[in-house]
Structure 1
Amino acid sequence: MNNISRAIAILGIATALGGLTPAVYAASVVNPNYPSSPMPATETNAQDLFDRGVEKSDRGDLHGAVEDFNRVVQLNPTFVEAYCNRGLARAALGEYKAAMADFNSALRIDPRHADAYTKRGTLMIELGNFPGALAEFNTALRFDANFADAYYNRGLAHSGLGNAKAAIADYDRAIQLQPEMAEAYGNRGTVRYRLGDKSGAIADLQQAARIFSAQGNVPAHQQALTFLQTIQQPSTAKPPVQP
């Protein structure tokens, strides 16, 4: 599962984060700014189970991942990232209520966990609650002002609310913090095109395609090329801004 901190990747496309499909999630499963909770020596197998759950998620074995994360939180009920990642897997399975419960549990354990707010916000986007999502990302950035995924996802929320300029500003910041975030280039490109900046849109989509290709993400690379071909054709309809 390409993770979910970057929810809807318009170029990851599906949409976003009908059912949360693995293709729409893109970003670190574990935010390096929020390391896993320390565990007593007698519980070191919980870390192994967590790592295995992440690997299963990456392979698309979401049910297997949930089973591993279940065991992790049994062994260590305060393992915040286990709740977050179980929430991601459940969201990808369409189990939105359970996913929300996991993100809520993570935040009860650590109310300042920016990554958990961001993940909960991406789920709100999927559920169509853009104002709620915006509030989540604002909170995440209050606790971590340099969290690229929060800026990226806030850009998606702004886009969903029709705030194109605010969306571009957030994509700009996400790219500044993480220059190889292909999804941010792709989404910024489509917003620019909607605003009439065709040359800027083409440049962004070309950059997105380049990065996706370098990452080996063939579907997203092809999608970026398809968008490019579409907007480079004369008198073509403008592609919709996601979400």
Structure 2
Amino acid sequence: MKKSKLFWLSFGLVLSIAMSCTSNIDKKGRFLLKGNNELKEGNLKGAITYYDEALAIDPQFKDAFFNRGMANYQQAKLIEAISDFSEAINIDNTYVPALTQRAIAHLDFGENYKALEDTKALLQINEEDGQAYFIRGLVQTEMKSYDEALNAFNKAIQFSPDNAELYINSATVHYYRNDLDAAVVDLEKAMELNPRESKLHNLWSLIHFENGDYQKALESVEEAINLDKDHSYYYNNRGLYKLYLDKPDDALEDINYSLKQNTKNYYAIRNKGIYYFKKGEMSLASKFLNEAYKADPEMPLLSEYLPQLDSEATQK
């Protein structure tokens, strides 16, 4: 499950600054607006250039730091993004957009405890900040603190009961805990709220797979792909289901596609090991399955295949 979303700054304050002030304040406001326009157009480097100009005029311009951080974040420059968000927070330690985005960037960078600290700060500012609870749930899920994650998602649901994604994340935690009945309850609620959410159908596919219904799993993940073709792990899941439906060549195509998008997708590496296991190529199976094991010894299915490899090696 991964994981984060961009939370965009409202530019209302920025516009009022630019329209009501003159001289240097007017100039920095114009540079900020030009940067915002470039950001909207997807010209991230151009946006950063304008934000730099605004900051050269006013080094305490928190909105420019925040927006530059957003531009860096969209380029996956997480260190630079965190630095910019931190500068904005140093200027105003109650600046909610910067605290929120820094928490997300910390999460993406693997700095889970720092992300939790930011959610704590957000909740001190507003104890009813549902977005902060949502991020906290994501962090706790990443840390495999599943009870705490469920508590956080449940709090977020209290403040946004019509948000399908919250139920999907709660269902995901139940799935990780192997509580499939509870996962289904959350997914059914999410389905009522937004049946066109791709992550919902992907999670349905995982549950069908756990229940041994590989055809339904395939149909569900294909629905997820139809709704959103950009998630590489959907293709990896489809590859896994095809392996269990005795379609190894089609499966390998999906698994390789997923790996091409993310070479560190260890679930895809595991699935490639399963592919070679089913093809009887045990040396290659061992290579990929053990690589996945080193990354995550608790990864599902490894405990099923690795002992069989050991048994094969012993018999030889």
State the TM-score, normalized to the length of structure 1.
0.74
Instruction: Measure, in 2, the Cα distance between the counterparts of 1:222 and 1:149.
Output: 21
Give 1:197 shift. Answer: 3.5
Structure 1 contact 155–168 (Cα < 8 Å) conserved = yes
**How many pairs are equivalent?**
211
Structure 1 contact 185–207 (Cα < 8 Å) conserved = yes
Find the counterpart in structure 2 of residue 205 from structure 1: 221
Structure 2 contact 63–88 (Cα < 8 Å) conserved = yes
Find the counterpart in structure 1 of residue 204 from structure 2: 188
Q: Greater relative contact order: 1 or 2 (C-alpha under 8 angstroms, separation 6 or more)?
A: 1
Q: How does 1:123-142 map to 2 (within 5 A)?
A: 123-142=139-158
Structure 1 contact 205–227 (Cα < 8 Å) conserved = no
CA shift in 2, pair 1:36/1:173, >3 Å: farther
Instruction: Measure, in 1, the Cα distance between the counterparts of 2:66 and 2:102.
Output: 10
Give 1:52 shift. Answer: 2.7
Cα root mean square deviation, aligned: 3.1
Instruction: Measure, in 2, the Cα distance between the counterparts of 1:199 and 1:31.
Output: 39
Structure 2 contact 209–241 (Cα < 8 Å) conserved = no
1:157 pairs, out of 170, 173, 182, with: 173
Give 1:38 shift. Answer: 6.4
Find the counterpart in structure 1 of residue 7 from structure 2: 30
Q: How does 1:30-69 map to 2 (within 5 A)?
A: 30=7, 41=17, 45-69=61-85
2:122 pairs, out of 99, 106, 109, with: 106
For structure 2, the residue ranges without an aligned partner over 5 or more in a row are: 18-24, 30-60, 248-273, 275-298, 302-316
Residue identity matched to 1:187: L
Find the counterpart in structure 1 of residue 193 from structure 2: 177
Q: Alignment partner of 1:78: what SS? A: coil
Instruction: Measure, in 2, the Cα distance between the counterparts of 1:117 and 1:31.
Output: 18
Give 1:31 shift. Answer: 7.9
Q: Alignment partner of 1:29: what SS? A: coil
Structure 2 contact 78–105 (Cα < 8 Å) conserved = yes
Find the counterpart in structure 2 of residue 20 from structure 1: none
Structure 2 contact 164–190 (Cα < 8 Å) conserved = yes
Residue identity matched to 1:70: S
CA shift in 2, pair 1:148/1:36, >3 Å: farther
Instruction: Measure, in 2, the Cα distance between the counterparts of 1:56 and 1:197.
Output: 43
Deviations 1:88-118 (A, max 9, x none): 1112222222111011111111111111101
CA shift in 2, pair 1:179/1:46, >3 Å: farther
Residue identity matched to 2:232: P
Give 1:198 shift. Answer: 3.4
Moved more, 118-127 or 145-154: 145-154
1:227 pairs, out of 236, 240, 245, with: 240
- Which one has the bigger helix percentage? 2
State the TM-score, normalized to the length of structure 2.
0.59
For structure 1, the residue ranges without an aligned partner over 5 or more in a row are: 1-7, 9-23
Residue identity matched to 2:79: H
Q: Alignment partner of 1:72: what SS? A: helix
Find the counterpart in structure 1 of residue 32 from structure 2: none
Moved more, 77-86 or 190-199: 190-199
Residue identity matched to 1:163: D
Runs of 4+ in 1 over 6 A off after TM superposition: 35-40
Structure 2 contact 215–245 (Cα < 8 Å) conserved = no
Instruction: Measure, in 1, the Cα distance between the counterparts of 2:238 and 2:136.
Output: 31
Residue identity matched to 1:153: N
Give 1:151 shift. Answer: 1.0
Residue identity matched to 2:7: V
Moved more, 103-112 or 172-181: 172-181
Instruction: Measure, in 1, the Cα distance between the counterparts of 2:173 and 2:11.
Output: 28
Instruction: Measure, in 1, the Cα distance between the counterparts of 2:244 and 2:222.
Output: 12
Give 1:76 shift. Answer: 2.8
